[in-house]
Amino acid sequence: MPQLDTSSWFITIMSMILTLYIIMQLKISKHTYYQNPEPTSTKKTEYPTPWQTKWTKIYSPLSLPQQ
């Protein structure tokens, strides 16, 4: 059974790490950041609830028609 030749692994791994580092640096350098982030005011919007706009009658069991 032949032996696995690992003599080129070091240069392959090092070149891969260098390439990944360069790619990440290029991606980070193209990212734009806000210069002065300012908090935005949040406005609470009120939605009418169904029970505020609609009148509903609640029937008690004793007031229902007798059968």
Q: Is residue 66 part of a domain?
A: no
Within a domain: 38:
yes
Confidence of residue 40 (pLDDT cuts 50, 70, 90): confident
Could you tell me if residue 26 is inside a domain? yes
> Does residue 10 register a pLDDT over 60?
yes
Residue 53 within any structural domain of the chain: yes
The rounded distance, in Å, linking the Cα atoms of 14 and 20 is 10
Residue 67 lies in a domain: no
Q: Does a structural domain hold residue 16?
A: yes
Check residue 17 and give its pLDDT. Answer: 97
Distance CA(67)–CA(63), nearest Å, equals 12
Mean pLDDT of 29-40: 79
What pLDDT, on a 0 to 100 scale, did the predictor assign at position 23?
96
- Domains in the chain, number: 1
Kind plus residue range of the DSSP H or E element containing 62: none
